Structures are given as C-alpha cells and as structure tokens.
C-alpha cells in the first residue's frame, strides 16, 4: 500500500478539522463510540496515555503531601441543595437515580457531576481540631455531566478525572494551595504534554459554581481555539459553612475551615490530539507516548535481520517504552505510515545493509527527518532525540500562540480579529453585562485574567467605559 493511499484514511486537517479529529480518535484506536449516547469506550492505547498523565500528575500531588481517597458516585439530593450557587450551576447537567429494582427511592440520588458536597459532608465528620488540618485529599474517578453536544475526550458525558479537595486552617493557606496546584497543572501541560498554556483567574461569570476564585490553564488548538486544560478553585468558606465543617482553633474557639478544589481530566488527551496532530495523524510527546520508539526491521526473511532486531529490542526495551513490529502481513511502507498515524515519536528502520554497516535509520515523527546512526550509539542517540522532539513540539505550539494572539483596542477590532481565531487581548470594565454581550455578538468568551497584566488602553473594549483588567478572550472547544 502506497503512503498517499494510507494517509487518505485521515481527513486533511485544514479541510475539516472536526472529521480529522474523529478519524484520529478511531483510527489510532484511542477510543470508540458506544451504545450509551455521549459516552465513549477508551481503548488500551488511549488509556495508556491517560495512565502516563495520571502517573506524572499523581507523583507531583504526592510531593506536596496529597493522599488519594475514594468517595461514592451517588450523592443524595439533599446534599446537593446545601450550596445554592453550586446546585444552580450544575442542575442542567445532573443525571438522577430515582428507582432501584422495582422500588422508588425515598430520596433522589445524583450521579456525581463533581464531589464537593459528598466530600465536604465527610470532612465535617472527620475534622475536630486545628491539629487535624490540613486535609490534603484527592480522588481519581469518573463523573457524569449530561452534555448536549459531545466529542470524544474533549466533551463526553462520562469522563475520567482527578478531583482534589483540601481544607485548611487559614484563608492564606488555602489560597496558597489553590495556586500551588495550578502550577502543577502548568507543569503537567508543558513538561509532560509539550503544550504551552496561558493561565490566570477566571471572571466572576466563568468561575466554578460555588467558588470565590477560579484559576485556569488554557491551551490553544491547531485551529486557534481555546481549550480549558485544568482548573483550581478557592472556595473560602462557601461549602464549609453550610456543611458545618468546623474545628477548634488555636484560641479554643470554633471556626469554619477554608477549602480548595482542583482537577484535570481525560480532556487532556483531546488537547494532545488538537495541539500536536497533523494530516498524517497523531503526534505524541515522548514523555506521554505509550510507545516512545518503534523498531521496524526490513526484509525480515533475510538471514540475521529478525534476530538482530530482537537483540536490539531486548536491550532498548529496558530503557524506553518500545515496540518491535514483526508483523509479516504488512509491507514496511504500511508499517511506517501506521506508526506515524499513531503518533510514535521515533522509529528505527533496520535492514540487511544497515546491519552489515553497523548502522540503522532513526525517523522523527515531529519533523519526519531521517538520521543514520551507529547501532553502538543507539541508546544515547534516542535519548537526545526524544528530548529534542519534546522541545520542538513545545516550541511549535508556543509559536502558534504567539502568532495567533492579537490585541483589540475597540469592539470593531475585536470582531474582525475574532473571525481569524486565536486569542484576543482586550481591556474590560469588569461588568458581567459586557462579557455577556461580547459572547452573544461574537461567540467569544473570556478565557482568563492573566496574572501579568498589560495596559492596552484606558477603556473597555465593549462599552468604552473605564477599564479594570486586561482579559484574554477566545472561542472554545
């Protein structure tokens, strides 16, 4: 099978990015659609990506003292009703269990859309004194939100995530924890997934239901759209007061604890696809790729080729996540395209002449560059190339953000820039009405109020009144 014939199986990214995305999810065997509408089955290759994200993030959490726990998937309606803003924010997405067997339940149970309520009610039972604090707990689990429009990984009704929930003695400690976890998410995105992100505080309109403050990391996809990649929330005492999470403070008086919540999900797999992929398929950053290096022997029927390939595989497999492709029903060309489509960062090609010369060919997925190297130096060369691939993938995304972030001084400029896609930097008066008007007229939402502020003008891009903050705006997935 010729290369061009094989690549035809994936829609050109510049012609129809939505179909391209679906093609990659299905043909790279990351996930598949199920009979449960809006829910996907994550296949082994996709789940391995999630496991690598999970392993990296979990180790970072634990370095800060976080411990893993587990709480029920079913939450009584009475608990959900205790925090008014929270229940109103999630009401449209909640799925309810009303019957068990043939009996109607005395109280409806919601399938968790998030776990603040069930976790906080347990904290009320477990907390007594300031000496018990902080509670630094996290759970890796699934949640269900009845989304109207779904897309694998990016927006599924059921998805996997982690949700951290901590309570603290003081507001200062809780706020510090909120930003600490945001920084871990930046680390996960940039150092594991090679995705540069913008970050900052969400507006009042866009913050998490029930939070005092929400902080976010935002990625940019191939087509210039924003993708919320992780959030960290400071709740203050918004949940601890209605749920009676009290403790005896250092003066012997009763006080309510201060709370945080933070999460990343399998949406990050969608972010990897959308930030790095091309018309040949996936491009996986080496640190998260299930297979970092694939070895494809050529002319396996010839003496010594298969044996040499197996020898090299056994040696390298101890150092890297490796795959030895011994499939004899496919041509080398088919295999090359297949592994490129699956996003494997590095490919080793090795035939009889290469073996005779003591060399092999390394092919980079990110640039498709071919490099002839000595078999004796293979481990060192692979190490260096995997690092170079990560850096190059990061820089490509970083350049995309730089080239697709523009400044708008007034609403006319804002509208014209918005048609091009990308991020827009513009001043805002702080009024929710202007934010809603911008969304209504342009379908563009605020992404974050960046920590590092720039002074673009003195007036709001929408109403022309005095501006309070510079905001980054963009259309989202």
Residues 252 and 148 in one domain: yes
Nearest to 467 by CA among 410, 424, 405, 386: 410
Is residue 2 pLDDT above 70, yes or no? no
- What CATH number corresponds to the domain at position 375? 3.40.50.800
- Residues whose CB is less than 8 angstroms from the CB of residue 322 and which lie 6 or more positions away in sequence, other chains included: 291, 292, 293, 294, 295, 313, 316
Residues 242 and 303 in one domain: no
Residue 148: HSE in the Cβ half-sphere, 13 Å Cα cutoff? 1
Average pLDDT, integer, range 280-284? 96
Nearest to 178 by CA among 101, 256, 116, 236: 236
395: in domain: no
Residues 148 and 95 in one domain: yes
Which pLDDT band, with edges at 50, 70 and 90, does 88 fall under?
confident
39-73 as b/e: b if 16+ CB within 10 A = ebebeebbbbbbebbbebbeebbeeeebeebebeb
Which residue segment(s) compose the domain that 426 sits in? 405-474
Return mean pLDDT, the chain: 94
Instruction: For residue 50, give both structure tokens.
Output: 């999630």
Residues 363 and 445 in one domain: no
Residues 269 and 312 in one domain: no
- Residues whose CB is less than 8 angstroms from the CB of residue 334 and which lie 6 or more positions away in sequence, other chains included: 1, 6
Instruction: Tell me the per-residue pLDDT of 101-123, one tens digit each, with 9 for 90 and over.
Output: 999 999 999 999 999 999 999 99
79: in domain: yes
442: in domain: yes
Q: Are 365 and 346 in contact (CB under 8 A)?
A: yes
281: in domain: no
Is residue 6 pLDDT above 70, yes or no? no
Rounded (10°) angle between helices 305-316 and 378-403: 70
286: in domain: no
Which residue, of 338, 359, 388, is where some domain finishes? 388
394: in domain: no
Instruction: Tell me the per-residue pLDDT of 239-267, one tens digit each, with 9 for 90 and over.
Output: 999 999 999 999 999 999 999 999 999 99
Residue 183: HSE in the Cβ half-sphere, 13 Å Cα cutoff? 8
Cα–Cα dist 231/330, whole Å: 45
Which pLDDT band, with edges at 50, 70 and 90, does 8 fall under?
low
Residues 169 and 246 in one domain: yes
Residues 61 and 140 in one domain: yes
Identify the bridge partners of residue 32 per DSSP, sorted by sequence position. 41
Which residue, of 248, 276, 304, is where some domain finishes? 276
Is residue 159 pLDDT above 60, yes or no? yes
Instruction: Tell me the per-residue pLDDT of 386-404, one tens digit each, with 9 for 90 and over.
Output: 999 999 999 999 999 999 9
Residues 41 and 158 in one domain: yes
Average pLDDT, integer, range 82-105? 85
252: in domain: yes
1: in domain: no
Which residue, of 360, 388, 416, is where some domain finishes? 388
Average pLDDT, integer, range 400-414? 97
- What CATH number corresponds to the domain at position 425? 3.30.110.30
Q: How many domains does the chain have?
A: 3
Highest mean pLDDT among 1-5, 147-151, 195-199: 195-199
Average pLDDT, integer, range 133-161? 95
Which pLDDT band, with edges at 50, 70 and 90, does 5 fall under?
very low
């Amino acid at each position: 099978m010729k290369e061009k014939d094989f690549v035809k199986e994936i829609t050109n990214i510049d012609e129809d990015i939505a179909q391209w995305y679906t093609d990659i999810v299905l043909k790279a065997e990351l996930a598949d659609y199920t009979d449960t509408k809006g829910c996907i089955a994550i296949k082994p290759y996709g789940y391995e990506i999630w496991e690598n994200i999970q392993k990296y993030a979990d180790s970072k959490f634990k370095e800060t003292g976080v411990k893993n726990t587990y709480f029920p998937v079913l939450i009584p309606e009475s608990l959900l009703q205790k925090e008014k803003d929270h229940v109103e924010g999630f009401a449209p997405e909640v799925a309810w269990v009303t019957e068990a067997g043939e009996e109607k339940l005395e109280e409806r149970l919601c399938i968790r859309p998030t776990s603040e309520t069930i976790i906080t009610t347990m904290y009320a039972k477990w907390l007594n004194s300031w000496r018990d604090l902080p509670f630094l707990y996290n759970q890796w689990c699934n949640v269900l939100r009845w989304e109207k429009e779904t897309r694998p990984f990016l927006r599924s009704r059921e998805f996997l995530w982690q949700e951290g929930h901590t309570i603290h003695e003081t507001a200062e400690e809780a706020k510090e924890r909120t930003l600490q976890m945001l920084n871990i998410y930046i680390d996960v995105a940039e150092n594991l997934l090679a995705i540069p992100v913008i970050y900052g505080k969400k507006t009042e309109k866009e913050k998490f239901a029930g939070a005092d403050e929400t902080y976010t990391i935002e990625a940019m996809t191939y087509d210039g759209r924003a993708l919320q990649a992780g959030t960290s929330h400071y709740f203050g005492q918004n949940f601890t007061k209605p749920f009676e999470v009290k403790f005896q403070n250092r003066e012997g008086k009763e006080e309510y604890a201060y709370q945080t919540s933070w999460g990343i999900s399998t949406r990050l797999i969608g972010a990897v696809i959308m930030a790095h992929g091309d018309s040949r398929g996936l491009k996986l950053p080496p640190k998260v790729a299930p297979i970092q290096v694939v070895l494809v022997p050529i002319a396996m029927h010839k003496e010594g080729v298969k044996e040499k390939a197996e020898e090299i595989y056994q040696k390298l497999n101890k150092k890297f996540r490796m795959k030895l492709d011994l499939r004899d029903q496919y041509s080398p060309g088919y295999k090359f395209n297949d592994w490129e489509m699956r996003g494997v960062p590095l490919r080793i090609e090795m035939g009889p002449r290469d073996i005779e010369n003591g060399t092999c060919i390394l092919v980079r997925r990110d640039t498709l560059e071919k490099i002839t190297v000595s078999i004796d130096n293979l481990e060192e060369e692979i190490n260096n190339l995997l690092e170079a691939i990560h850096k190059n993938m990061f820089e490509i995304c970083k350049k995309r953000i730089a080239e697709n972030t523009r400044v708008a001084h007034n609403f006319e400029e804002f509208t014209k820039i918005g048609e091009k896609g990308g991020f827009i930097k513009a001043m805002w008066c702080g009024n929710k009405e202007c934010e809603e008007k911008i969304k209504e007229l342009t379908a563009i939402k605020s992404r974050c109020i960046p920590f590092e502020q720039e002074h673009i003008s003195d007036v709001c891009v929408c109403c022309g009144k005095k501006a309070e903050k510079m905001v980054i705006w963009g259309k989202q997935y």
